[in-house]
């Protein structure tokens, strides 16, 4: 016994464990094969590089769609505004008995209303319009393009709008056209139009339009034609002593606005499967610096649901998991999100705005719940665990979005905003890079 | 080496032929590992079956990072899976304190001349290990033969490090006592 120590015994048994003569002819592949057929692999082979690349391509394509949609809208808008930049038809007016009318009145740029009462926005419209308008016996001649005398008014935009607005041109009877191409209207006595056969002339019930002596005409396919209008027995008296002022409206862009948003939230970790949909809702606050730039913040309550393979879950904060083979993790987390973003208006229409935002978000995690699937001693097991106030991630999430805003009258603005949140660091107990995408739907309203 | 890599790749995509090749290649190794832990030969066969089942169902997790060491890495992984399967089996049989005599038919019976004296000695030593109480046996196997540390064993078995050390100490004491009875001087001289 004196010669035996621990090391001797250990070495002896190590040798014995490898070389002891155990019978090994009991293998039964058929039985194992049958078992494998009955219970196929729980774990699918990892995604091939090709499929992985395809999934990433789709994601980036989706991401590119957002700015492309914005760019497309801008392009479309510039395309529709182009005709207005072309040399506009001029209106020459001769008003024999209108001494009080000033050039400014004559060029009361664009009408603020059309015949049917539809408001035509004209941010730089003169604020003066005649209070009364009577048509007397004065001879008045209005021609488009090239009148030798009188004042000239450039109103291409107004003309275009009038032509494209169905409501404004409704009520015209094509039968009013005279065989020689002129139109004589009972409602506007003495009004004659010379131009391309088939053209129609809209009678304008609006005194302002009449005051401008501009007649809109269009062919059956809506193309604006040059029209010579001769008026007889019409007068456009203006109150004597009144001087017209051209005042450009300067909207005050400095304002605060607030809104309520709700969004379905899709969270993924390294482009893995999205198994269920989370939610985001909260309050948005914004400050507008000017027509283009705004600063936005708010408080959102997020509930994110995500799934990950075990390899992406950092087990450092969960000691019991360190020595097991973590397979899959399903997670749900509740958090308060504090975004801080800059907003840039890509385009602004009458009632529509297209915008993009970029900024950083803070996640204040309030609770997490995880369902772990792991192998313990080769045996598949599951365990659920929840954590309170596990982590705070200050300004560690990049916020990107492109949005659309539609005016809804007195209610405010409807806001639709696809967003993407890209984490700069691991989030939560498992330090998971939770990437989120969704669609903010909400109402915003100017508050101050 | 290339053949082994081919087998591994085949197993990762659930190719039955490759799985069979792997099964046949390492069956003996797995059975010898399992037999040291569980009580009977039949139980060892069952453990190996369970172990292979888990292995094949999770084979995509095995990654070949260094082709030069692929065989060593694969054997290490297989060993770990079988040990885990054996421990799991022992947990299920934890209330079974019955001791079993090892029947002679489980041993390899070749030509008597082919079996060296060492083989007979190793057979005796493994028999001694299997006569240990399960709690001592598993710690002895894990620490002395497999090389796990006490904290690792504690985590694997769900016991404290102190318990692991205590069980090892008692296992060694049992074995020394048994070796003394088996004429240790002769054994050591043979080795």
**Residue A55 falls inside a structural domain:** no
Query: Are B117 and B74 in the same domain?
Result: no
pLDDT at A222: 41
CATH of the domain at B185: 1.10.10.10
Higher pLDDT, A190 or A368: A368
Q: How far is B65 from chain A (nearest CA, A)?
A: 15
Inter-chain CB proximity A32 and B118 less than 8 Å: no
**Residue A188 falls inside a structural domain:** yes
- Asked whether A219 and A195 are in contact (CB, 8 A), the reply is no
pLDDT tops 90 at residue A63:
no
Contacts for A322 with CB less than 8 Å, ≥ 6 apart: A315, A316, B155
ipTM here:
0.87
Q: Which pLDDT band, with edges at 50, 70 and 90, does A70 fall under?
A: low
HSE, CB side, 13 Å, CA atoms: give it for residue B174: 19
pLDDT, tens only, A316-332: 888 777 777 788 899 99
pLDDT, tens only, B31-80: 999 999 998 899 999 999 999 998 998 887 787 777 778 888 899 899 99
Which residue in the set A6, A10, A32 is minimally distant from B53, CB to CB?
A32
Interface of A with B (CB under 8 A): 1, 3-4, 6, 8-10, 12-24, 26-29, 31-33, 35-36, 39-46, 322-323, 325, 375-379
Query: Are B63 and B122 in the same domain?
Result: no
Query: Are A183 and A326 in the same domain?
Result: no
Inter-chain CB proximity A20 and B14 less than 8 Å: no
Query: Are B150 and B175 in the same domain?
Result: yes
pLDDT, tens only, B127-163: 999 889 888 999 999 999 999 999 999 988 888 999 9
Helix (H), strand (E) at residue A33 = helix A29-38
Alpha helices in A86-206 (DSSP H): 103-106, 156-164, 166-169
Q: Which pLDDT band, with edges at 50, 70 and 90, does A95 fall under?
A: very low
Contacts for A224 with CB less than 8 Å, ≥ 6 apart: A159, A160, A163, A216, A217, A218
pLDDT at A286: 92
Q: How far apart are CA A111 and CA A211, in angstroms?
A: 10
Q: Does B159 touch chain A (CB under 8 A)?
A: no
Query: Are A393 and A256 in the same domain?
Result: yes
**Residue B114 falls inside a structural domain:** yes
- Select from B34, B67, B92 the last residue of a domain: B92
pLDDT, tens only, A183-229: 434 344 444 444 444 444 444 455 545 444 444 444 444 444 444 44
Range of the domain at B46: 2-92
- Using N-to-C axis directions, what is the helix angle for B117-130 and B161-181, rounded to 10°? 130
For residue B48, the chain A residue with the least C-alpha distance is A27
Q: What percent of chain A has pLDDT over 70?
A: 49
- Asked whether A295 and A286 are in contact (CB, 8 A), the reply is yes
**Residue A82 falls inside a structural domain:** no
Under 8 Å CB pairs connecting chains A and B tally to 154
- SS3 (DSSP) at A232: coil
Into how many domains does chain B fold?
Answer: 2
pLDDT, tens only, A18-30: 888 888 888 888 8
Break chain B down into helix, strand, coil percent, rounded to 5.
75, 0, 25
Inter-chain CB proximity B122 and A14 less than 8 Å: no
Query: Are A346 and A265 in the same domain?
Result: yes
What is the rounded average pLDDT for all residues in chain A? 67
Into how many domains does chain A fold?
Answer: 2
Least confident of A47-56, A372-381, B122-131, B141-150: A47-56
What is the rounded average pLDDT for all residues in chain B? 85
Contacts for A317 with CB less than 8 Å, ≥ 6 apart: A390, A429, A430, A431
Higher pLDDT, A160 or B109: B109
Query: Are A218 and A117 in the same domain?
Result: yes
Range of the domain at A171: 89-231
pLDDT at A51: 59
Query: Are A226 and A353 in the same domain?
Result: no
Closest-CA residue to A44 (of A272, A355, A384, A324): A272
pLDDT at A141: 40
pLDDT at A143: 39
Query: Are B119 and B52 in the same domain?
Result: no
The structure's pTM equals: 0.42
Query: Are B53 and B134 in the same domain?
Result: no
Inter-chain CB proximity A29 and B85 less than 8 Å: no
pLDDT, tens only, A250-262: 556 788 999 999 9
Which DSSP symbol is given to A120? Answer: -
């Amino acid at each position: 016994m004196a010669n035996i120590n621990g090391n001797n015994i250990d070495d002896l048994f190590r040798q014995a464990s490898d070389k002891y003569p155990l019978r090994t002819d009991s293998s039964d592949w058929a039985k194992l094969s049958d078992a494998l057929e009955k219970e196929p692999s729980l774990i699918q082979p990892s995604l091939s590089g090709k499929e992985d690349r395809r999934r990433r391509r789709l994601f980036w394509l989706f991401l590119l769609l957002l700015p492309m949609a914005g760019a497309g809208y801008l392009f479309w808008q510039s395309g529709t505004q182009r005709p207005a930049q072309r040399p506009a038809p001029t209106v020459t007016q001769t008003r024999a008995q209108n001494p009080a009318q000033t050039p400014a009145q004559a060029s009361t740029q664009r009408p603020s209303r059309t015949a049917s009462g539809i408001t035509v926005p004209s941010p730089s419209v003169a604020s003066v319009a005649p209070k009364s308008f009577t048509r007397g016996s004065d001879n008045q001649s209005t021609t488009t393009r090239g009148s030798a005398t009188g004042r000239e008014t450039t109103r291409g935009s107004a003309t275009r709008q009038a032509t494209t607005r169905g409501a404004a041109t409704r009520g015209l009877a094509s039968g009013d056209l005279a065989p020689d191409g002129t139109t004589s209207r009972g409602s506007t006595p003495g009004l004659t139009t010379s131009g391309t056969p088939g053209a129609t002339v809209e009678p304008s019930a609006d005194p302002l339009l009449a005051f401008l002596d501009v007649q809109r005409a269009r062919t059956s396919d809506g193309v604006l034609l040059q029209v010579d209008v001769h008026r007889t027995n019409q007068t456009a008296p203006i109150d004597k002593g009144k001087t017209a002022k051209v005042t450009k409206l300067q909207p005050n862009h400095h304002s605060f606005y607030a809104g309520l948003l709700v969004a379905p939230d899709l969270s993924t970790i390294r482009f893995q499967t999205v198994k269920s949909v989370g939610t985001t809702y909260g309050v948005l606050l914004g400050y507008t610096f000017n027509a283009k730039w705004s600063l936005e913040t708010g408080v959102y309550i997020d509930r994110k649901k995500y799934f990950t393979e075990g390899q992406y879950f950092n087990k450092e904060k969960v000691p019991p998991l360190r020595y097991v083979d973590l397979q899959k993790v399903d997670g749900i987390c509740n958090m308060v999100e504090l975004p801080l973003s800059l907003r840039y208006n890509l385009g602004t229409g009458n009632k529509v705005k297209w915008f993009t935002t970029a900024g950083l978000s803070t996640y204040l995690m309030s609770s997490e719940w995880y369902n772990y699937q792991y192998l313990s001693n080769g045996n598949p097991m599951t365990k659920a665990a929840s954590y309170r106030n596990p982590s705070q991630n200050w300004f560690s999430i990049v916020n990107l979005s492109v949005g659309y805003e539609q005016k809804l009258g007195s209610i405010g603005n409807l806001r639709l905003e696809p967003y993407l949140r890209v984490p700069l660091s691991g989030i939560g107990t498992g330090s998971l890079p939770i990437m989120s995408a969704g669609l903010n739907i909400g109402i915003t309203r100017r508050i101050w | 080496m290339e053949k082994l890599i081919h087998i591994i790749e085949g197993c990762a995509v659930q190719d039955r032929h490759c799985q069979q090749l792997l099964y046949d290649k390492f069956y003996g190794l797995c059975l010898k590992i399992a037999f040291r832990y569980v009580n009977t030969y039949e139980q060892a066969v069952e453990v190996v079956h369970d172990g292979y089942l888990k292995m094949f169902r999770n084979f995509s997790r095995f990654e070949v990072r260094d082709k030069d060491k692929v065989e060593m890495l694969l054997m290490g992984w297989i060993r770990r899976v079988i040990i885990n399967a054996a421990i799991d089996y022992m947990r299920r049989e934890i209330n079974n304190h019955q001791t079993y005599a090892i029947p002679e038919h489980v041993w390899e019976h070749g030509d008597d001349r082919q079996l060296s004296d060492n083989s007979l000695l190793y057979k005796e030593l493994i028999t001694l290990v299997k006569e240990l109480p399960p709690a001592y046996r598993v710690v002895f196997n894990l620490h002395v033969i497999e090389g796990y540390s006490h904290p690792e064993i504690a985590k694997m078995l769900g016991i404290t490090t102190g318990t692991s050390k205590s069980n090892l100490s008692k296992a060694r004491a049992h074995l020394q006592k048994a070796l003394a009875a088996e004429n240790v001087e002769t054994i050591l001289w043979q080795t």
